[in-house]
Amino acid sequence: MKALVTGGAGFIASHLADRLIESGHQVVVVDDLSKGRAENLNPKATFHRLDIGDPALADVFAAERPEAVFHHAAHVDVTRSVADPMYDASVNIMGSLNLLECCRAHDVRKFVYASSGGALYGEPVSVPADEHHPVVPFSPYGVSKYVVEQYLYFYHLVHGLDYTVLRYANVYGPRQDPLGEAGVVAVFSVQLLKGDQPVIFGDGSKTRDYCYVADVVEANLLALNDKSGGVYNLGRGIEVTDLELYETVRQAIDSKTKPVFKDFRPGEVVHSALDASKAETELGWKWRTELKDGIAKSVDYYRTTSERAQT
């Protein structure tokens, strides 16, 4: 089929575009390159440089007629969402509504939405949290991701749009932006490779659930055949402290650098992990990549890109 991938020059979605093309699908990428990189674009994909909130998106749909849409374009900076919730909403809510209107007008068959488990569940009552956990986001980012889930239900109910929601844990791997705040594996890797001293916010005991990008991509492909309205957590269900993650990255690089500790940032939860048993039962999805192996692959990528930049 023909699939349109928003944010397809970014981290997760560029891997998804590659995997879709490998599977024989035609791929159209929409990305404004504000965060994504042109070098991440698959040369076999048709590329439109465009913000998802731009009215011209309707022209892209009219020309390309995609059957499926994978929506990954988003504002993901939790700290900025706390400081500027209107900007966060303008991208994550209004941009998504523009996309959904295009899907409605052009009879898109399937919509797969990249949501966030950790940001939606707030400070979890139980860990790992399943899909029945109360939605109590601590940040405007989490609010905006959940609002779009509710709009998807509306578009299904009123317009018949077939959709699946995938609630990600902390996804990491090659191509993750080391300059942003969302990709701590990338941040630690690049800083340690440069010999810089990374920062850990808090005392290092904060936990997250880390899932390798290739595993998450496979869930997106499985979602193409999912029944409409499915909502699934994607994670390993294993809590990893900031210090444990730091040590794993440090060992992969063979660095002796110690981190600096700074104050905990507002809008962040203390502990987070996702129960993905529903995805295993209903989608047939299971994570495959151990943290140590995924970090080794990530470090190799950042080492290689660093060496290229120096030549």
* Residues marked as catalytic: 141
For the record, the structure tokens of 260 come out as: 């600096």
CA distance 121 to 144: 13
Q: How far is CA 223 from CA 163, 164, 229, in A?
A: 9, 6, 11
Q: Could you tell me how many helices (H) and strands (E) the chain has, helices first?
A: 12, 13
Task: Assign 3-state DSSP to the chain and report helix, strand, coil percentages, each to 5.
Answer: 45, 20, 40
Those residues whose C-beta lies under 8 Å from the C-beta of residue 272, and which sit 6 or more positions away, are: 117, 118, 121, 124, 127, 129, 169, 170, 207, 208, 209, 239
| Bridge partner residues of 207 (DSSP) | 241
CA distance 54 to 143: 22
DSSP conformation class of 227 = P
Helix residue spans in the chain (DSSP H): 11-22, 57-64, 78-83, 85-89, 95-105, 117-121, 140-159, 184-194, 213-223, 242-253, 277-278, 291-310
DSSP conformation class of 38 = G
Q: How far is CA 227 from CA 76, 110, 234, in A?
A: 28, 10, 17
Answer whether 208's CB lies under 8 Å from 291's CB. no
CA distance 124 to 165: 20
